[in-house]
Amino acid sequence: MRNKRLGLNHLMGAFLVGSICFSGVAMAQSEKISAQFEKLRFIVAGEDRTSQDGKYNNNGTMVPESILYEGTTYVPVRKVSEMLNLPVQWDETTKTVWIGAVTVDIKDAKGTVIGHAALSQSENGVNIDVKASGLAPGKHGLHLHQNPITGNDFTTAGGHYNPSSKKHGLHNPDGHHMGDLQNLEVTVDGIVNAHLHLEGITLEKGKDNAVWGKSLIIHAKEDDGVTDPSGNSGDRIAGASIVELAK
């Protein structure tokens, strides 16, 4: 084992997609932390996934496979997520780690959180699971827009994500915006629980078709699936920014 002083910036770059996921280390940048270069043994679903040298390749930087702090051994979440084949994302602003699905808040025009949307990668796109309440019963248009929302002004989301300059509507014979989605169906109690799919979109950062930096917008009325530019779906009443996450 080799003892070394690891500054906060080093730790944040090496562990948990940019951060250590325990509060003690956040204030321990001047304290000694033991970097363990001895191998740990990892058994995943009965398969030995132990590394050869006890180091982990964190986006091109070789870092200790674990650290020892106050008698407890910590392993990078990214390493564990890779072994489990689950994507992991880190939001430095909110100090949030997502494993598997990325969850974003859905807010109304007053900024009140009324629900959440969980985004997860599929073979040919992104699955979106929407859970929200406080909406008017009936059908509501839902679209992926090209920009994030600034403040509570949904107009800042811009138009629908439409990199191929198609016309609007899933029922349009000439093709549709890449950001067009099925209508949400809200119950008489004002609750929606929907599973949707966006084909051709990815959670992989750096790709032209990445979902980051865009937003989901819920409209007051039903999307008719044909009419430009948004299917006569009315005002924008709620939305969720899908902000770019730190590496």
The full set of domain ranges for the chain reads 35-86, 102-242
pLDDT at 34: 62
Beta-bridge mates of residue 197: 127
| Spatial separation of the C-alpha atoms in residues 220 and 235, rounded to whole Å | 5
The per-residue pLDDT for 7 is 43
- Which stretch of DSSP H or E encloses residue 125? strand 125-132
List of E strands, 41-92: 43-44, 47-48, 55-58, 61-64, 66-69, 72-74, 88-91
Pairing of strands 142-145, 214-219: antiparallel
List the pLDDT tens digit at each of the 247 positions of the chain. 444 444 444 443 444 433 334 333 333 444 566 666 567 888 887 888 888 777 888 778 888 788 877 778 888 887 887 777 777 777 666 677 777 778 899 999 999 999 999 998 888 899 999 999 999 999 999 999 999 999 899 999 999 998 888 888 888 888 888 889 999 999 999 999 999 999 999 988 778 898 989 999 999 999 998 988 888 999 999 999 997 554 3
For the domain spanning 102-242, the CATH number is 2.60.40.200
Q: What predicted TM-score, i.e. pTM, was given to this entire model?
A: 0.69
